Amino acid sequence: MIEKETPIAILFVCLGNICRSPTAEAVFRARARKRGLAGRIRIDSAGTGDWHIGQPPDQRAQTTAIKRGYRLNDLRARQVSAKDFTRFDYILAMDNANLADLRALDPGNSRAKVVRFLDIMEQGPDEVPDPYQGDTDSFARMLDLIEQACDRWLDRLAGRRNDGQ
């Protein structure tokens, strides 16, 4: 009898869960599906703040994403909870402030590895800049970084499963 692998669970986190983290969720989901990994990875996003709970992603994020084939319109903002630290293998923070907030929220029984999302990159910025106060180009630059980092994370996770790690 062949047992099913337990999916790797990944949570993307930004401040309000309306720009960076839902974009990362949608990009990661689409790229995982394209690689045939969709059933092996559980993906979600959340924010450290509570002011956008239940709202869809920012319209500018949706517009930028749809131009590249990603759909965000069905996602809704939620706030990180203490349970997330035991439900996810990786909690990926978009910037240093989010990382500090996550570490402060960690109830102490975490199974999740909490790191910055861009730590996977060998060079370049270590944070995904928050485009919320920016222009359309800010959202395109955000998406560029997210696409690159998602590919790197998928490479690492596919290797982890193949190596049995």
Q: Which residues are catalytic?
A: 14, 20, 130
Q: How many angstroms separate the CA atoms of 71 and 138, rounded?
A: 18
Longest dimension (CA), the chain: 54
Distance CA 138, CA 144 (A): 10
In whole angstroms, give the CA distance from residue 153 to residue 96: 19
Q: Counting beta carbons within 10 angstroms of the beta carbon of residue 9, is it exposed (0 to 12), middle (13 to 18) or buried (19 or more)?
A: middle
